[in-house]
Amino acid sequence: MLERLVSILYPNVCPICGKTLKIKELLCKSCDKQLEYIKEPICKKCGKQLEIDEQEYCGDCKKYMHVYDSGLGIFAYTDDIKKCIYDFKYNDMKIYAKFFGAKMAERSVDYIKHWDADVIIPVPVSKEKYVKRGYNQAELIAKELSKQCGVPMDNKVLYRKKNTKPQKEMKREARKKNLEKAFIISRNVVKYKKVILVDDIYTTGSTIDECALALKEAGVSKVYFLSLSIGAGV
């Protein structure tokens, strides 16, 4: 009854096309069919989709060593998903977290089982950004994912020290510099041996690597990641 009333007052809309949804629907049926998920073959390290089956790693992962152990992306970085993530981050569409978390849990269920991690940690935003935006988008996804898969979420161990500049336009080396020592561990994380980091977009992996470095320096032995979207591998 209350749920129905809430849905009349605040209609639930499809995150992709904006159509009004039924109660408990996270996405309309036609958009659900059209969404592009990351499919095999994928890079064994970063999870980017590859062109050919015989290839084990993408070009990036062949060239550069990552600090993290391995990870997975859920959606291909298409215009639909780009817009959806943009609205989620900058237009206060926090409601999309349910849809994102559910899809992440559904697509990565085998990996989560296999990784057998102790905790899910969202990639943090800086304090300034948190205050300005009012939330950390990765944390909202991580919370929903945790609800779905049963691995606990901890948002009190990893912090972003300084407000790193937007990375979109930066080259790989510049990105690395920008992130250097940007993450700190606020509390003893030794109790966690295996960690899953959660973020919204994976590009070069430098953000995940920096988080993994901070965690591993503090005694974590395995760092995996799940990213809502990821580009194609070459």
Binds Zn ion by CB under 5 A, chosen from 50, 58, 72, 138: 58
- Give the CA angle between residues 47, 195, 220 to the nearest 5°: 120
Min CB(149)–Zn ion separation in Å: 24
- Toward Zn ion, which CB reaches closer, 115 or 225? 225
Give the separation between CA 167 and CA 176, rounded to whole angstroms: 10
234 binds Zn ion (CB under 5 A): no
- Toward Zn ion, which CB reaches closer, 13 or 218? 13
Give the separation between CA 194 and CA 117, rounded to whole angstroms: 5
Min CB(48)–Zn ion separation in Å: 5
Min CB(152)–Zn ion separation in Å: 28
Min CB(111)–Zn ion separation in Å: 15
123 binds Zn ion (CB under 5 A): no
Min CB(29)–Zn ion separation in Å: 8
50 binds Zn ion (CB under 5 A): no
Name residues whose C-beta falls within 8 Å of residue 123's C-beta, 6 or more positions apart in sequence.
138, 158, 197, 198, 199, 207, 208, 211
89 binds Zn ion (CB under 5 A): no
43 binds Zn ion (CB under 5 A): yes
Binds Zn ion by CB under 5 A, chosen from 17, 109, 190, 234: 17
Min CB(8)–Zn ion separation in Å: 20
Give the separation between CA 82 and CA 16, rounded to whole angstroms: 10
Burial class (CB in 10 A: 0-12, 13-18, 19+), 11: exposed
Q: What's the half-sphere exposure (Cβ side, CA atoms, 13 Å) at 180?
A: 6
Please report, as residue ranges, which positions from 59 to 88 form the binding site for Zn ion (by CB under 5 A).
61
Stretch that binds Zn ion, among 8-16, 97-105, 190-198, 223-231 (CB under 5 A): 8-16
Q: How many helices (H) and strands (E) does the chain have?
A: 10, 6
Whether the CB-CB separation of 153 and 120 falls below 8 Å is answered with: yes
42 binds Zn ion (CB under 5 A): no
CB neighbours (10 Å) of residue 131?
9
Binds Zn ion by CB under 5 A, chosen from 21, 42, 45, 211: 45
CB neighbours (10 Å) of residue 13?
17
- Toward Zn ion, which CB reaches closer, 46 or 151? 46
- Toward Zn ion, which CB reaches closer, 31 or 102? 31
Task: List residues binding Zn ion (CB under 5 A).
Answer: 14, 16-17, 19, 28, 31, 43, 45-46, 48, 58, 61
